[in-house]
Structure 1
Amino acid sequence: MKTIEVNDIINRDKLSPLQWMVFVLGFLVFFCDGLDTGIIGFIAPSLLTEWDITKPQLAPVLSAALIGMSIGAIISGPLSDKFGRKGVIVITTCLFSIFTILCGFASSIGELTFYRFVTGVGLGAAMPNISTIVSEYMPAKRKAFLTGLAGCGFMLGISSGGLLSAYFLDNLGWAKVIIIGGLIPLALVLVLVLKLPESTPYLIKKQKTAQAKRILETIQGQAFVGDVQLVLPKSEQQGEDSPVKLVLGKYLWGSSMLWLCCFMSLLVFYLLTSWMPTILKTAGFSTQQFSFIAAIFPFGGVFGATIMGWYMDKANPNTVIKISYFLAMLLLIVAGFVSGNIYLLGVTIFLIGALLAGAQSSLLPLSAIFYPSVCRAVGVSWMHGIGRVGAILGAFFGALIFAYNLSLGSIFFVLAIPTFISFVALWLKGMKERPVSAPAQANAVVNESAR
């Protein structure tokens, strides 16, 4: 019987139609996740006016989804390792789409807060798992770039929420805008059920080799000749330690630094995405102006994540993202000085988005590369879940901004501090690791597969 390692087929130079399908579906899930995550921030000014509520009263609505995201991300990793990536992705995408639609029918703060919380559970569970399955289908030499490129859908989704609000909010109202945001991922669920394949490493670990064999035959474009035994590379095979034990044991230092980096990064990211429209409106910007500038921030992340993904496959991935956080910190300081000029502020916000939002998006492929498949789902989802606590604090800190009457420039100065901490966390992570470039990592995987 011939033994074939999964990576021998996955790491082909040319992506198969099935691999492209996984990439496209991953991009679309990220897009819908970003759309439904960010849209609440864009409709917040209209919600304040229509319901005649104060900004602090709105804080629970903005933070409810973030709390749900943290819970969803943390519990989804073990569930994904037990029941499969695809099932978790389909169910959670359906969950966040349905409850986003229900948000449009909410009639009170309490009701809207509950709907946003359940929406958040789905959003938080879907993102790390779609990132994991995309990374598992991408060839090693282009894994960081393609996984990061799929993750750009998240930033594009947030930006689309801003554009949707800018053009339809005044005419349709906030309720219809958010319902539209929920209908889009609901249509995607059927496509996921029909077209998204299950993770082949998961299928092999669960001894569902017949299903894994059919997927790999589709990727290589021909059936296997004779009897074959599918195996994972030695570094990916299940040992005695559970996924949770590996993350909290062998990979604890790197995990801790990823958690700290993601925590601080999401604190800044969600403070800006959740409160920037309201902050800019308070500073005197019009509806179209604050929607446009707020949309520029995540849109810059699309460019940043794409460029970073390319460099992550050419150089040390940790170093690429580390430098991006440092440059983002410097630009936040610059934004504090140019906040009075709408044109300079717009350019600076775009560059901050390219670096900060791009780096945040690139943390998912970085963590997928860092962990082996045996604990990848747990490692990636826990980084995202613990990092979401920073997002929760970011939403609450937005309310404090108005309580202390901080100026627009002062807000940017303050946000430079957690961005610097993200840089330090990745620097400390790199200090404990043997310097290795992404090509060397890819070659190591290929070489391991060849044995």
Structure 2
Amino acid sequence: MLITFMENTVIANIRRSRARLILLAGIVVFGMFLDGFDADLFFFGGTFILKIIHINGFLLGVAATGFAGGIAVFSFIGGYVFDKMSVKYGLITALILFSIFSALTGFVTNEYELVAFRFITGFGVGMVQPLIYTFMGDLIPSSRGRFLAMPAVLFGLGLFVAPYVFNIFSSKTTFDVPFIISGILGMILIILTFSVMPKYYMAKQRPRKGFYRYLKMDLMLAVLSMFAWGIGYFAYNSYYSSFLVSIGLSATQDTLVFSLFGIGLIISAIPGAFIGDKISRKYALLLAAFLYVLSTGLMFLTHMTYIEAIIATLIFGLGYGIYGVNISAIVQEFVEVSWTGSATGFLLGIFNIGALLGGPLFGTVLGLTHSYFKSGEITIFIPMMALMIMLIIMKSPDYKSIDAEDERMELGENA
């Protein structure tokens, strides 16, 4: 029984065949394409959706908060599922929730449906993200950053494609087709996951110590930097399209500029992963923080032209490509292999608690100041400054779970 179990894990499969590694990794990372695609359908299209169903623009921030709330709760659950339960059925459960309620978003007719459907979509997104990031990060720990770059690139591709899909397949009175596409793609991924994914990821040894004993200052600084990023990113995502319209950009220009965040992410994720794997994870994170501060300063401390908006948005995306890969990797390296799922879920859960605040905070400041520039300065630029300060203080982990690769090889030999 033990031998059969060991031979039917993800890790055992990829050791036997490089083709199997490519197949399983490809299926898993496509989930991050769907996450990015659905998120930008909602965030880019949100302004237009609210006009079509005739509800107040403030509800965009509320719906974004509901979405982030669902993600926050289930991020913690997704990480636990990876460590303690079946990765296959965890992925399938998350994708079912995502696919159904992403598709239903295209049929909302009032604010109650919008908030409810995005909240439940968030359940699926929240559960699937830590499963994907831990799955990829633990495949070959010595190349952790490069494997984590793959879902980041696919996420960026989803962000890039979504505004164009929304513009092509929506009209002045309908927006259902883009979300139906999202739901159909999710169902296809469910079928593929069910067909080829082993039930368990790997055979793990009993943890040497409890997860909470790893929650020391440096790990917490890394996690809290994600809290700041959650505030800034969801404030940005919730209102950036409206901000671009407010400074005089046309709908076509708005689409192009908004999509460049995803392009920046795609460009920088793999180089950023190499910097983290081969030079220094902390230096990579500090580079990302510098790009965040530079780009958001250009956005909200100056009065941007169209060309400056292109440059600032691209730089912001470049920062995220580097940061997203390396912050996930460094948090996994702070803990032993038995807790990488819980660590990733904790990171993403705290990120999404910050995200809960971002949209409403921007909306509240906008209501008080009537200035997109001031609102962006307070809710996006200042959190990016805080993020950079925390990363400067943070020390790199003493323990790296690269040793886990040897543990897995020993487990395989013992099988």
TM-score normalised per structure 2: 0.88
**For residues 236-385 of structure 1, what are the structure 2 equivalents within 5 Å?**
237-239=205-207, 241=209, 245-246=210-211, 248-336=212-300, 339-385=303-349
Give the SS at the match of 1:238: coil
Q: Distance between the aligned counterparts of 1:197 and 1:134, measured in 2?
A: 15
Q: What does residue 165 of structure 1 align with?
A: 166
Q: 2:389 aligns with which of 418, 421, 424?
A: 424
Give the SS at the match of 1:185: helix
* Higher mean C-alpha displacement, 419-428 vs 97-106: 419-428
Give the SS at the match of 2:352: helix
Give the SS at the match of 1:146: helix
Larger radius of gyration: 1
Measured on the aligned residues, the alpha-carbon RMSD in Å equals: 2.9
> After superposition, what is the alpha-carbon deviation per residue over 1:166-201, rounded to whole angstroms, capped at 9, x for unaligned?
333337832222222222112111011112234543
The Cα shift of 1:351 comes to 1.1
Q: What does residue 66 of structure 2 align with?
A: 64
Is the Cα contact below 8 Å between 2:10 and 2:201 reproduced in 1? no
The Cα shift of 1:411 comes to 4.4
Give the SS at the match of 2:395: helix
Q: Distance between the aligned counterparts of 1:450 and 1:153, measured in 2?
A: 29
**For residues 4-403 of structure 1, what are the structure 2 equivalents within 5 Å?**
16-137=18-139, 139-170=140-171, 173-201=174-202, 204-205=203-204, 237-239=205-207, 241=209, 245-246=210-211, 248-336=212-300, 339-403=303-367
Q: Distance between the aligned counterparts of 2:390 and 2:354, measured in 1?
A: 14
Q: Distance between the aligned counterparts of 2:407 and 2:52, measured in 1?
A: 61
Is the Cα contact below 8 Å between 2:79 and 2:345 reproduced in 1? yes
Q: Distance between the aligned counterparts of 1:93 and 1:252, measured in 2?
A: 33
Is the Cα contact below 8 Å between 1:304 and 1:359 reproduced in 2? no
In structure 2, do the counterparts of structure 1 residues 445 and 124 end up closer, same or farther at CA, with 3 Å as the change threshold? Answer: closer
* Higher mean C-alpha displacement, 124-133 vs 311-320: 311-320
In structure 2, do the counterparts of structure 1 residues 358 and 266 end up closer, same or farther at CA, with 3 Å as the change threshold? Answer: farther
Counterpart code for 1:182:
G
Give the SS at the match of 1:249: helix
Q: What is the percent sequence identity of the aligned residues?
A: 18
Counterpart code for 1:193:
F
Q: Distance between the aligned counterparts of 2:137 and 2:145, measured in 1?
A: 8
Is the Cα contact below 8 Å between 1:38 and 1:274 reproduced in 2? no
Is the Cα contact below 8 Å between 1:321 and 1:362 reproduced in 2? yes
Q: Distance between the aligned counterparts of 2:17 and 2:177, measured in 1?
A: 40
Q: Distance between the aligned counterparts of 1:392 and 1:53, measured in 2?
A: 21
The Cα shift of 1:337 comes to 5.1
Is the Cα contact below 8 Å between 2:331 and 2:344 reproduced in 1? yes
In structure 2, do the counterparts of structure 1 residues 446 and 390 end up closer, same or farther at CA, with 3 Å as the change threshold? Answer: closer
Unaligned runs of 5+ in 1: 206-236
Q: Distance between the aligned counterparts of 1:189 and 1:200, measured in 2?
A: 17
Is the Cα contact below 8 Å between 1:269 and 1:357 reproduced in 2? no
Q: Distance between the aligned counterparts of 1:333 and 1:10, measured in 2?
A: 47
> After superposition, what is the alpha-carbon deviation per residue over 1:390-412, rounded to whole angstroms, capped at 9, x for unaligned?
11111112312431345444444
Is the Cα contact below 8 Å between 1:339 and 1:345 reproduced in 2? no
Unaligned runs of 5+ in 2: 411-415
Counterpart code for 2:206:
Q
The Cα shift of 1:364 comes to 2.2
In structure 2, do the counterparts of structure 1 residues 7 and 191 end up closer, same or farther at CA, with 3 Å as the change threshold? Answer: closer
* Higher mean C-alpha displacement, 281-290 vs 152-161: 281-290
Q: Distance between the aligned counterparts of 1:425 and 1:174, measured in 2?
A: 41
Is the Cα contact below 8 Å between 1:266 and 1:360 reproduced in 2? no
Counterpart code for 1:256:
M
Q: Distance between the aligned counterparts of 1:59 and 1:446, measured in 2?
A: 43
In structure 2, do the counterparts of structure 1 residues 195 and 9 end up closer, same or farther at CA, with 3 Å as the change threshold? Answer: closer
Q: Distance between the aligned counterparts of 2:157 and 2:326, measured in 1?
A: 14
* Higher mean C-alpha displacement, 382-391 vs 311-320: 311-320
Is the Cα contact below 8 Å between 1:80 and 1:129 reproduced in 2? yes
